Structure 1
Amino acid sequence: MIVVSFIVVLGILIFVHELGHFLVAKWLGVKVEKFSLGFGPKLFGRTIGETEYLISAFPLGGYVKMYGEGGFSEAELVEQTSTETAETAAEPVEPPQPIDEARSFSHKPVWARMAIVLAGPAFNMLFAWLLLITLYLVGMPIMKATIGEVFKDKPAAVAGMQKGDRITAVDGHPVVQWEDFSSRMATVRGEVTLSIVRNDHPLTITLVPQAGESKNLFGETVQKPIIGVSPSYEFATERFGLLDAVRMGNAKAVEVTKLTVLSMVKLFQGVVPLKTVGGPLMIADMADKAAKTGGATFFMLLAVVSINLGILNLLPIPILDGGHLLFYTIEAVIRRPVPQKVREYAQQAGMLLLICLMVLAFYNDIVRYFFSKG
């Protein structure tokens, strides 16, 4: 089951990513020669129209091969044919085929090439956004903003808050779930007014939080206003109207995007240790647990991983989409392509870096799941 969950999650996200490249390339008139889910040896393939659709052996990625993507010119083909003619002496050689510049990726203007490359990560982000909105429409499990415990002598207890109180607003801002309450309280400075419901009766409580400290997701100590309550950990499935679903889907997508970017920054800064980097085994484990928990949890994971994949591909590392975008940006500024040798060396360095990251991720997975205590 864990293998199936892994293949489903990765397969969907890779398909969405490559579909972005494919559709925008076709829209801009570029001939797509191959569309592959996976790398390596072909397991299954079928040619429809001018494109061969493949399922390949290694499911850790995919690719769209476009006509002229490597870059060529007719002069280069003539030179290559002449060399082959000299080497094979009297053997007949077919004349070079003329290049269809209108269908060639490398002959498209730089803005078109950038659009095709950017489409992959953009489709991952768009897919996650639509998925989140759909989840809020059909039903999202949320933790209720209900008080589970009120701590003695803290501002909430002094103000008269009780176990079972349901918080509905903070300083007039509506609260639907505990996450809303926590987010609002994190920005409070000074006195705060809480709207609550107790035994079906609305009440208003005003209090002044204490200054306190807590650990954030990255293990850093941060200042945080404290009123002295904890949640009841009650969950409910909430369905929202279209406008509310779009608003909450937008907010969640922005939140996950910011957290992903911040996590990467903290990783490079050394705040987040390298041992937290996860690989295929971590994704497989998370996908399996999410599938067992329920549909909404699984699709939430799918949205989060899709955003992560989109942002990761935008990193300016040669061989990733972000690396290609960097080269095309330079080309747009200097008005000529980056020299082929420079691109080749940069891509080799990028490949080495990715291999190192994959080895690190696999190592962390093995230690985490096979050698960690407990």
Structure 2
Amino acid sequence: MLYGYTLGIIGLLILIHELGHLTAARLAKIPVQTFSVGFGPRLAGFTRKGVDYRLSLILLGGYLKPGIKTEAEWSAIPPARRVAFTLGGIIANGVAAVLLLTVYGVSSRDMGFFSAQLWAGKQAAVILLTIFTSLPLLFTNSGDLAGIIGIVAQGSAIIGGGQAAVLLFAAILSLNLAAINLLPLPPLDGGRALFDMLGKVAPPLGKASAGFSIAGWIVLVGLTILATKNDLARFLA
């Protein structure tokens, strides 16, 4: 049962991330073709105002596909609007984390609402700083790297501690999702935003984003394989 709750929390945070992109797309007047929770074949969904809202088979992420057919069309959109769209998911996860920490402050630390908000903002900043300073350990201490199996197992153990533990786990996981997506690897939001900005000041670098995207995907796939290997080793030990 706890595994199901943990997967539900992960799925909800992914949904929030993609809703952030969708909201940013609306505000930036960027057309949207597909809004998907999950990857791979479409399992279910509906179409509304020209957007295909779908649930896909592999529930390990999600994506929002702009209704743009060519690179030239994308490049014609002002960089500020492209960057706003790209960072929308990160902002949504950050806001969600602060809200979750605010609820935790009110319900578990007997804080007033505004005091809890200030405390939540400070705690979110501290957690993000800790995440970023710990990122080099992915490469220097890769044996501790956990994948989706490990996250679900560890999360299930944590949320067994009650409502307060659920709120903290969800907030920290949301901030992790924001931080990872902020990394300057082109497949991730941070990398795409970086190359959108570089394309404005140094067009040749902007055009090189495809090559960097391939390299970034190789790094991400490698880390995913390593994390899964670590998860299986822990469970089979």
Tell me if both proteins adopt one fold, taking TM over 0.5 as the criterion: yes
Amino acid in structure 2 at the alignment position of 1:37: V
Contact 2:98 2:121 in 1 (8 A): yes
**Which residue in the other structure is 1:117 paired with?**
86
Cα distance in 1 for partners of 2:159, 2:198 equals 44
1:355 aligns with 2:226: no
Question: Taking structure 1 as reference, are residues 258 and 57 closer, same or farther at Cα in structure 2, changes over 3 Å only?
Answer: same
Runs of 4+ in structure 1 off by over 6 angstroms are: none
Q: How far did residue 263 of structure 1 move?
A: 0.7
Report the TM-score when normalising by structure 1.
0.60
**Which residue in the other structure is 1:365 paired with?**
231
Structure with a larger share of its residues in strand: 1
Q: How far did residue 5 of structure 1 move?
A: 2.3
Cα distance in 1 for partners of 2:202, 2:218 equals 28
**Which residue in the other structure is 1:285 paired with?**
153
Q: How far did residue 12 of structure 1 move?
A: 0.9
Amino acid in structure 2 at the alignment position of 1:123: A
1:251 aligns with 2:128: no
Q: How far did residue 293 of structure 1 move?
A: 1.7
**Which residue in the other structure is 2:211 paired with?**
345
**Which residue in the other structure is 2:144 paired with?**
276
Cα distance in 1 for partners of 2:148, 2:204 equals 39
RMSD, aligned CA: 1.7
Amino acid in structure 2 at the alignment position of 1:116: F
Question: Taking structure 1 as reference, are residues 274 and 105 closer, same or farther at Cα in structure 2, changes over 3 Å only?
Answer: same
Matches within 5 A, 1:173-184: none
How many percent of aligned residue pairs carry the same amino acid? 31
Cα distance in 1 for partners of 2:169, 2:74 equals 34
Cα deviation, 1:198-253, whole Å, max 9, x if unaligned, reads xxxxxxxxxxxxxxxxxxxxxxxxxxxxxxxxxxxxxxxx3111232122212211
Q: How far did residue 2 of structure 1 move?
A: 4.4
**Which residue in the other structure is 2:110 paired with?**
239
**Which residue in the other structure is 1:48 paired with?**
48
- The alignment partner of 2:166 has SS state of helix
Report the TM-score when normalising by structure 2.
0.93
Determine which of 180, 187, 194 is the counterpart of 1:312: 180
1:107 aligns with 2:65: no
Structure with a larger share of its residues in helix: 2
Cα deviation, 1:141-186, whole Å, max 9, x if unaligned, reads xxxxxxxxxxxxxxxxxxxxxxxxxxxxxxxxxxxxxxxxxxxxxx
Cα distance in 2 for partners of 1:127, 1:70 equals 33
- The alignment partner of 2:63 has SS state of strand
Amino acid in structure 2 at the alignment position of 1:330: L
Segments of 5+ residues of structure 2 without an aligned counterpart are none
Decide which structure has the larger Cα Rg and report it: 1
Contact 1:14 1:61 in 2 (8 A): yes
Q: Which has the higher contact order (CA 8 A, sep 6+)?
A: 2
**Which residue in the other structure is 1:38 paired with?**
38
- The size of the alignment, in residue pairs, is 237
Contact 2:2 2:160 in 1 (8 A): no
Amino acid in structure 2 at the alignment position of 1:129: V
**Which residue in the other structure is 1:14 paired with?**
14
Contact 1:10 1:59 in 2 (8 A): no
